[in-house]
Chains A and B, each alone.
Chain A
Amino acid sequence: MSIAADHSGVVPRVETEGDVNRLMLAVDGIHCAACVQRIERALTAEPDVVGARVNFTTRRLSLAWRGAPARATDFIDRLDDMGFTARPFDAGKLAAADAANDRRLMRAMAVAGFAAGNVMWLAISVWAGVFADMGPATRGLLNWVQALIALPAVVYAGMPFYSSAWHAVRSGRVNMDVPITVGVSLAAVMSLVQAIIGAEEVYFDAAISLVFLLLVGRFLDQRARGRARAAATHLLSLAVTEVTRVTADGRTEFVPIEAVRPGDHLLVAAGAKLPVDGIVYAGRSALDTSTLTGESVPATVGVGDQVFAGTINTGGALTIEAKAVGPDTVLAEIVRCMEAAEQGRARYVVLADRLAKLYVPVVHGLALITFLGWWLWPMHADWTVALLNAVAVLIITCPCALAIAVPAVQVTASGRLFKRGILLKSATALERLAEVDTIVFDKTGTLTEGRPELVDAAKVPAAALTLASGLAAASRHPLCLALRRAAGDVPALTGVVELPGDGLEATVDGRLVRLGRRDFAAPTAPEIDDGCAEMWLAGEGQAPVRLAFRDAPRTDAASVVAAVKRRGYRVALLSGDRPAAVAALADQLGITEWRAAQRPADKVAAIEALKAEGARVLMVGDGINDAPSLAAAHASMAPSAAADISRTTADVIFQGAGLDAVPATLDVSHRAQRLVVQNLVISLLYNATLVPLAVIGLVTPLIAAVAMSVSSLTVILNALRLGRAGKGTQTWTS
């Protein structure tokens, strides 16, 4: 879904430097690399343009030209002609901070990677030299070179972990970064001490490779979340920046949206987006409200009807009286709802961090016991020896395998889902999906195809269908398009007049025929309310015929609902549509729990209510109106045809015509969660075996390095089982 921007008469903010103007545009409708080429070529061909470059990943165009800044609107119109909707994009501080963070992590990763590689070959030389004939001078040199590389790298690249651990400790919490920080810094400091006193054993390689491995995981996580945030700013750029106001003496004027006050009269052209919430003051039209309700059929509005910001005027021009402006509008409320809900989810504590809460005191307690045991009783050793042994305990328990246990499973699980066209976006989604016990579906576009189809086409008299389809050819209204699909190849009638908000009218063989709303085409016909969208065909010599349309459910919707119910999930349906339509679909699919006419905030409230009952909710939805509930739910999924904002809010995006991705994802999440638990147990077992060795002072760097690699390999191999196990076991969905 793309939303046409209202750019009539609006001059976007252009940055001018010398005689070169620069502008960043967010472009909708770029689907492949060929689109990138078309746009760049067309714009470069324009005179004065000095640079046009599209970033395919972010769907943004950066444009530079000489001459008048006002030419920006020409370029936007040019893109519009080509079928792309462009609007000025102000990246803002948030996106800049995000990009800076992205780069900081990437830089840290590069430095850690360089240091880890170089320290490793030096360390291997030293270990190999233990068996061959390496003098203490050479060993000392190699150890010092390691220190020289590793120490600055550990200090610089490990910063993300140290600051996270510091924040956690200061607020009285413990996360996985705490033992990582303690382990890494102790390994580095102790190795430095060892190098100074000329001892044989240094642990620089363990410290820096741990930092590197963990940074890779963190970077991938940051990338995924950064994209989500970028799309949220994309949504904010949808807001109209300038509007046409009707002054008291009847003239029109352009004013910035900030200047609009409740009570002002605003002119909304056909095809434009409504800038504010208000009521219709003059005119009749049809509004595309899909952003707010998810409903695909435009709603007819007339004088006195309430209208909302963000909906699109698809019919004739309207004059509306502003009632709510800016932060009071429903669109702004959606964005606020979403941000609030996302903060709630950010508080989710992953299993690894919950484990860290137990792990940290135990490990640090053991280290203390080791120190006291060696120093005071029963060993009575020198305090330096005692300290070395205590530090060895901390290094060997540094949660390398533990920290890899979860990401390894996530990588294999997302790879497996990816092959099925299911995209896993959030790092913690698998864990949350595995805990789900209630599934809430949206109706339009999720359980249904999202486009109306003619009901019982065979029962409509053939002549009436042909006539109606001939009329319908003149309109792009979704119901007319559905009529054209149902009637097949019917020649279009000429001289058809479209009356916005009412319907179509034409004179056929000297007789006036109308197709449209009941009170427009056939006011005498009885009203029928069966939840279907309808059009009436009537006229001179043509008895009123009702054409009913229904949004057909996806082909496998019923079987998927039945399958998840069999598995013991509670299923509910929340829709912004009218009760009759929702009831019909719920009945057809066997869903007993449903609510209709739900606004975005109502949906969030319904989900919060379920959560309050103790349910773990999976929300499946697609529209902008679903975005807050997707964010509020414990886990969320959206089809790939969903609105940008929903796709970025959802944890999981699935492709294809069916809904079977829902049970498939739940299935993989359950098995992934089992593997995560197994991996955590393996890591703990490894610690349980090696910690006693460290306590009695038998751990050398070689043992530490080998044990670290073996334990990491074990958890990775275990995670890979997910890729193989259970192939072809999705039969339970049918």
Chain B
Amino acid sequence: MDILIFLLPTALLMGLVGLAAFLWAMKTGQFDDLEGDAARILYDDETPAPVDAPRGKKA
């Protein structure tokens, strides 16, 4: 049962990381607009691509 000495802290640490990630996401306002942000991925990228990777763009 000595393995518990490693397993318990490891498992709890992983859980705490998850909790911290959630609290961080909440603090940075990622749950403020669930409806709008869900659609944001569908927008076309307006900003021009970097010079070294030119992108075909319709006139």
Contact = CB atoms under 8 A, between A and B. Distances in A.
Interface of A: 33, 36-37, 41, 44, 54-58, 103, 106-107, 110-111, 114, 117-118, 121, 135, 138, 141, 145, 149
A33, A135, A145 interface centre (most CB from chain B within 10 Å): A33
A55 B33 contact: yes
A41 B44 CA distance: 11
A58 B11 CA distance: 39
Nearest to A145: B8
Given A107-B23, A110-B23, A138-B4, A37 B33 contact: no
Given A55-B36, A106-B31, 8 more contacts: A55-B32, A57-B35, A107-B26, A111-B19, A114-B16, A117-B15, A121-B11, A138-B1
Contacts of A117: 15
B53 interface: no
A106 B26 contact: yes
B12 A56 contact: no
Interface in B11-48: 11-12, 15-16, 18-19, 22-23, 26, 31-40, 42-43, 46
Contacts of A138: 1, 4
Q: What secondary structure prevails in chain A residues at the interface with B?
A: helix
B19 A110 contact: yes
Contacts of A121: 11
A623 to B, nearest CB: 26
Contacts, number: 53
Nearest to A37: B43
B33 A56 contact: yes
18 contacts: A33-B36, A33-B39, A33-B40, A36-B36, A55-B32, A55-B36, A56-B35, A56-B36, A57-B33, A57-B34, A57-B36, A106-B26, A106-B31, A110-B19, A110-B22, A111-B19, A114-B15, A138-B4
B35 A149 contact: no
B19 to A, nearest CB: 4
Nearest to B16: A114
A103 to B, nearest CB: 7
Contacts of B36: 33, 36, 54-57
Contacts of A44: 46
Among A54, A56, A107, the most chain B Cβ lie within 10 Å of the Cβ of: A56
Contacts of B16: 114
Contact of B33 (A58, A114, A135, A149): A58
Contacts of A107: 23, 26
Nearest to A54: B36
A33 B41 CA distance: 11
A103 B26 contact: yes
B26 A149 contact: no
A44 B19 CA distance: 35
A501 B32 CA distance: 46
